[in-house]
């Protein structure tokens, strides 16, 4: 069964069957990653461009590894956003890249909607690796994969996303994906970091982290973007840590087995304490491993379409 | 030269005229109204208008001509061509050019370039030097050169002190301060704040950014006795505040652009950069409020906020694309379709919004149907069904979200300054 779309632009419009297909396919690829020779010939002869208009280390490496393990030819194209205003337009860049006969583009861009725009500019399959504060579908898929792997299900699981929801593409993709698959989604953070109309997305809102811990099976803790800190959405890092930081003390107090995810990179002592980041509740590094498998699944499913 | 317009449905609400009649025009002057004899028609070119509406020439008080500075996007000539094509005989052009319209020389330059065109151009001077919001512009000099109002359009006048000074100073000429209402500290987003902006991941502009400046300006108009005109109003709250201010006798007027009474923020889905404008497309409730405001007179006039942008500038990532759309050649069709045919406004009210009130606000004489008056008129076929085709625009720029939209009603012709454009053809009369 193929995916219903030629692209992976976001999870808002991705149907349940597609999400399940990606997650199931990822299971197969995860097995490949356990082998001594971690490479399959599936995408031999296919060319994938990793078009990164924004700095990213882990997402890019994860995609690059996934591409290489599928035997695709991977090319990295990194540009700083500032060069956009200086020289070639985005459209011209894409036309040039397409003229080199490529099959897929993995795009990371600071402006929301750019992956959709790309589909209008070229024929290649487009995979969104994060667009502005819009979506980051493969991150959400790997989060969902990791939850499913650990809890053996997603339907009915109560997941709370904690942190700066208003400025997070990870949050939005997780909300869309988890809701589609039948999980119960909530968000938790200071009011300044929760979008005004969040309830229209069908999620519950917690302002109190202890309540969020008590009522959920999973916490997905977002990184506090330190660059947004001063005078912005919360007074001080200290106050954020005090109000929303996940510590052992807090987990013990609520006396509950809870699964902790974090998309990384983590700020130890801010949104998560060191002992939690290294502790028994978290699956942060499994997420990273699963990320490669999930991205292999997406690349495979799109790259073998006609 | 003599022309006869037969079978006109003359509409001039100020003169309480809405009647079937005929016009005889010689050398650009109306010489007879009513039944025309064989003698009258001798040597006259006769046009049968088949009961189309004929009203005082429509006037768009919010146009960006881009000259000087961005002649690649629009010029005085192409902007006026677009205006005539769209059914307008007069426009006011906004001062956010490069350089800004903050000196008599630039105002005169615009006037000079427009001199021979059918469409009359009335520049709006910058309210502050360079539109920087620091020092008020030489208003007397600009007024004498032909400025009909003052504005820092693109932004609101920066702070309350400069606004107060501008309003006090402008009362000497009895011209309005035209305000782009947006609080600077809340500006900078890409679309209206709401669930759609959350879904699309676009940086939001809260509606309160407009409301804050509207109430500031109303209070300042009340305090100083000056005239404030709210440009491109877009929020329900703004409309309510202007309604209340008018009831109190405060000198405030308002305009709305067609996209703000026809489209909602939903149109942004798909990231079409031609749905990006400032103020942004708002909610269904706001659109309803605009219609209500038009109906009850809270909103005095309709103006396009015609904002030409080159293809290259709009063909890019949504967040980086500039704000604004062209509107001169679509707005009368949109207004007829959405307001007249949907019974929001009568034809008399529509003529008030398009021809009478904008001139009142800017102290420009209103064309009348009287013998001896200059013929300055717009001919409207309310029933023509047509589809917008950006490739046919006279404007240099094609950035419209209304391409291919089916409309009912069109301005088919204009006459002014001994010139005529009818069904796309220009001629001297």
pLDDT tens per residue across all 429 residues of chain B: 999 999 999 999 999 999 999 999 999 999 999 999 999 999 999 999 999 999 999 999 999 999 999 999 999 999 999 999 999 999 999 999 999 999 999 999 999 999 999 999 999 999 999 999 999 999 999 999 999 999 999 999 999 999 999 999 999 999 999 999 999 999 999 999 999 999 999 999 999 999 999 999 999 999 999 999 999 999 999 999 999 999 999 999 999 999 999 999 999 999 999 999 999 999 999 999 999 999 999 999 999 999 999 998 999 999 999 999 999 999 999 999 999 999 999 999 999 999 999 999 999 999 999 999 999 999 999 999 999 999 999 999 999 999 999 999 999 999 999 999 999 999 999
**Which of B193, B201, B315 comes nearest A91 by C-beta?**
B315
Compute the half-sphere exposure of residue A149: CA atoms within 13 Å on the CB side of its CA.
22
Chain A positions in Cβ-Cβ contact with residue B190 (cut-off 8 Å)? 112
* Contact state of B199 with A201 under an 8 Å Cβ cutoff: yes
Chain A interface disruption, residue of B193, B196, B198, B313, most A CBs within 10 A: B198
Q: Which of B216, B302, B210, B310 is nearest to B259 (CA)?
A: B302
Nearest chain B residue (CA) to A170: B201
- B265 Cβ contact partners less than 8 Å away, ≥ 6 residues apart: B191, B192, B194, B196, B197, B280, B281, B282, B283
State the smallest CA–CA distance between residue A166 and chain B in angstroms.
Answer: 8
A201:B318 CB<8 A? no
- In angstroms, the CA A75 to CA A79 distance is 13
Structural contact between residues B137 and B150, judged by C-beta atoms closer than 8 angstroms: yes
A79 Cβ contact list (under 8 Å, min separation 6): A51, A52, A53, A93
Question: Residue B57's pLDDT is what?
Answer: 98
Taking CB atoms and an 8 Å limit, are A114 and B199 in contact across chains? no
Say yes or no: A116 contacts chain B, CB-CB below 8 A.
yes
Residue in chain B lying closest to A167 (CA): B201
Q: Which fold has domain A137-287?
A: Rossmann fold (3.40.50)
Does B195 sit within 8 Å of A200, measured CB to CB? yes
CA distance B26 to B42: 12
3-state secondary structure of A179: helix
Of A12, A110, A166, the CB nearest to B199: A12
Q: Give the number of beta-carbon pairs within 8 Å between A and B.
A: 67
Would an 8 Å CB–CB cutoff place A90 in contact with chain B? yes
Q: What string of pLDDT tens digits covers the 306 residues of chain A?
A: 789 999 999 999 999 999 999 999 999 999 999 999 999 999 999 999 999 998 888 999 999 999 999 999 999 988 765 455 567 788 888 998 899 999 999 999 999 999 999 999 999 999 999 999 999 999 999 999 999 999 999 999 999 999 999 999 999 999 999 999 999 999 999 999 999 889 899 999 999 999 999 999 999 999 998 766 555 788 888 999 999 999 999 999 987 789 999 999 999 999 999 999 999 999 999 999 999 999 999 999 999 986
Q: Show me where the domains of chain B are located.
A: 2-54+370-428, 57-361
A218-221 vs A259-261, strand pairing mode: parallel
Distance, in Å, from the CA atom of B390 to the CA atom of B397, rounded to the nearest integer, reads 9
**DSSP per-residue codes, B272-332:** -GGG--SSPP--HHHHHHHHHHHHHTSS-EE---B----HHHHSS-GGGSPP-B--TTTHH
Look up the CATH superfamily of B57-361.
Metal-dependent hydrolases (3.20.20.140)
Please tell me the distance in Å from B270's CA to the nearest CA on chain A.
8
Q: Please judge whether B201 and A169 are an interchain contact, meaning their C-beta atoms are less than 8 angstroms apart.
A: yes
| Chain B residues within 8 A of A166 when measuring between CB atoms | 198
SS3 content of chain A, % helix, strand, coil (to 5): 45, 15, 35
Tell which of B317, B321, B322 to mutate to test the A interface (max A CBs under 10 Å): B317
Is B316 in CB contact (< 8 Å) with chain A? yes
Name every chain A residue with its beta carbon within 8 A of the beta carbon of B201. Answer: 112-113, 131-135, 169, 172
pTM score of the predicted model: 0.93
User: How far apart are the CA of A94 and the nearest CA of chain B, in angstroms?
Assistant: 11
Q: Active-site residues of B: which are they?
A: 305
Question: What pLDDT does B168 receive?
Answer: 97
Residue in chain B lying closest to A110 (CA): B319
Q: Tokens in use for B50?
A: 């088949």
The reply to whether residue A197 touches residue B194, judged by beta carbons under 8 angstroms, is yes
Rounded to whole angstroms, the Cα distance separating A115 from A109 reads 8
Start-end of H helices in A36-151: 58-69, 82-86, 90-99, 114-121, 137-151
Distance separating alpha carbons of residues B87 and B63, to the nearest angstrom: 14
Contact B201 A84 (CB under 8 A): no
Question: What distance in Å separates the CA atoms of residue B72 and residue A156, rounded to the nearest whole number?
Answer: 58
Tokens of B77: 């000539």
Q: How far apart are CA B309 and CA B293, in angstroms?
A: 29
| CATH among 2.60.120.260, 2.130.10.10, 3.20.10.10, 3.40.50.1370 for A16-136+290-303 | 3.40.50.1370
**Closest to B202 (Cα-Cα) out of B319, B119, B299:** B319
- Chain A residue with Cα closest to B191: A112
Q: Where are the domains of chain A?
A: 16-136+290-303, 137-287
Q: For residue range A49-84, what is the model confidence (pLDDT) as tens digits? A: 999 998 888 999 999 999 999 999 999 988 765 455
Is the CATH code 2.30.40.10 the one for domain B2-54+370-428? yes
Among the partner-chain residues B201, B312, B316, the one whose CB lies closest to the CB of A135 is: B201
Residues A112, B318: C-beta atoms closer than 8 Å: yes
Residue in A with minimal Cα distance to B202: A112
Residue A106 and residue A127: Cα distance in Å, rounded? 5
């Amino acid at each position: 069964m193929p995916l219903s779309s030629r692209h992976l632009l976001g999870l808002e419009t991705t149907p349940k069957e597609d999400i399940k297909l990606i997650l199931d396919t990822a299971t197969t690829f995860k097995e490949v990653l356990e082998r001594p020779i971690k490479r399959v010939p599936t995408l031999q002869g296919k060319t994938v461009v990793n078009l990164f208009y924004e700095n990213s280390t882990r997402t890019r490496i994860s995609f690059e590894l996934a591409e290489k393990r599928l035997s695709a030819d991977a090319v990295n194209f990194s540009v700083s956003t500032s060069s956009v205003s200086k020289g070639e337009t985005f459209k011209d860049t894409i036309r040039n890249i397409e003229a080199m006969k490529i099959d897929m583009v993995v795009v990371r861009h600071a402006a929301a909607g750019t992956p959709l725009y790309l589909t209008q500019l070229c024929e290649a399959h487009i995979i969104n690796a994060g667009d502005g504060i819009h979506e980051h579908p493969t991150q959400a898929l790997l989060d969902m994969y990791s939850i499913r792997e650990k809890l053996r299900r997603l339907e009915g699981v109560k997941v709370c996303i904690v942190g700066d929801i208003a400025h997070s593409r990870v949050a939005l993709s997780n909300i869309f994906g988890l809701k589609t698959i039948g999980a119960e989604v909530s968000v938790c953070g200071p009011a300044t970091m929760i979008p005004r109309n969040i309830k229209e997305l069908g999620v519950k809102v917690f302002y109190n982290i202890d309540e969020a811990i008590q009522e959920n099976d999973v916490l997905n803790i977002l990184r506090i973007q330190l660059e947004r800190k001063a005078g912005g959405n919360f007074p001080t890092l200290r106050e954020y840590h005090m109000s929303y930081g996940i510590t052992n003390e807090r987990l013990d107090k609520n006396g509950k087995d809870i699964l902790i995810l974090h998309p990384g990179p983590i700020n130890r002592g801010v949104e998560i304490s060191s002992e939690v980041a290294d502790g028994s509740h978290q699956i942060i590094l499994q997420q990273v491993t699963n990320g490669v498998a999930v991205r292999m699944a997406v690349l495979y499913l799109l790259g073998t379409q006609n | 030269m003599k022309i006869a317009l037969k079978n006109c449905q003359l509409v001039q609400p100020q003169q309480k005229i809405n009647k079937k009649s005929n016009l005889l025009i010689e050398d650009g002057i109306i010489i007879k109204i009513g039944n025309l004899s064989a003698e009258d028609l001798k040597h006259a070119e006769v046009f049968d208008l088949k009961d189309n509406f004929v009203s005082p020439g429509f006037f768009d008080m919010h146009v960006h001509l881009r000259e000087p500075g961005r002649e690649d996007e629009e010029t005085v000539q192409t902007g006026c061509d677009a205006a005539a094509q769209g059914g307008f005989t007069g426009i006011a052009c906004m001062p956010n050019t490069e350089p800004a319209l903050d000196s008599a020389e630039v105002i005169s330059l615009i006037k000079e370039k427009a001199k021979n065109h059918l469409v009359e151009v009335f520049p709006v001077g910058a309210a502050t030097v360079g539109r920087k919001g620091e020092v008020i512009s030489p208003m007397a000099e600009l007024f004498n050169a032909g400025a009909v109002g003052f504005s820092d359009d693109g932004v609101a006048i920066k702070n309350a002190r400069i606004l107060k000074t501008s309003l006090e100073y402008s009362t000497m000429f009895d011209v309005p301060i035209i305000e782009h209402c947006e609080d600077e500290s809340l500006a900078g987003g890409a679309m209206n704040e709401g669930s759609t902006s959350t879904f699309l991941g676009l940086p939001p502009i809260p509606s309160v950014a407009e409301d804050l400046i509207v109430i500031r300006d109303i209070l300042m108009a009340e305090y100083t006795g000056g005239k404030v005109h709210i440009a491109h109003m877009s929020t329900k709250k703004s409309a309510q505040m202007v309604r209340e201010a008018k009831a109190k006798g405060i000198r405030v007027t308002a305009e709305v652009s067609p996209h703000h009474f026809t489209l909602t923020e939903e149109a942004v889905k798909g990231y079409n950069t031609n749905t990006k404008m400032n103020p942004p497309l708002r909610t269904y409730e706001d659109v309803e409020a605009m219609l209500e405001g038009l109906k009850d007179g809270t909103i005095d006039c309709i103006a396009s906020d015609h904002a030409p942008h080159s293809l290259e500038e709009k063909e890019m990532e949504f967040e980086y694309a500039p704000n604004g759309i062209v509107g001169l050649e679509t707005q009368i069709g949109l207004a007829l379709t959405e307001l007249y045919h949907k019974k929001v406004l009568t034809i008399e009210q529509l003529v008030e919004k398009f021809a009478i009130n904008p001139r009142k606000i800017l102290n420009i004489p209103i064309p009348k149907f009287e013998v001896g008056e200059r013929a300055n008129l717009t001919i409207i076929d309310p029933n023509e069904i047509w589809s917008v085709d950006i490739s046919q625009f006279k404007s240099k720029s094609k950035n419209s979200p209304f391409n291919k939209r089916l409309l009912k009603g069109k301005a088919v012709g204009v006459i002014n300054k001994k010139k005529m454009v009818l069904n796309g053809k220009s001629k001297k009369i």
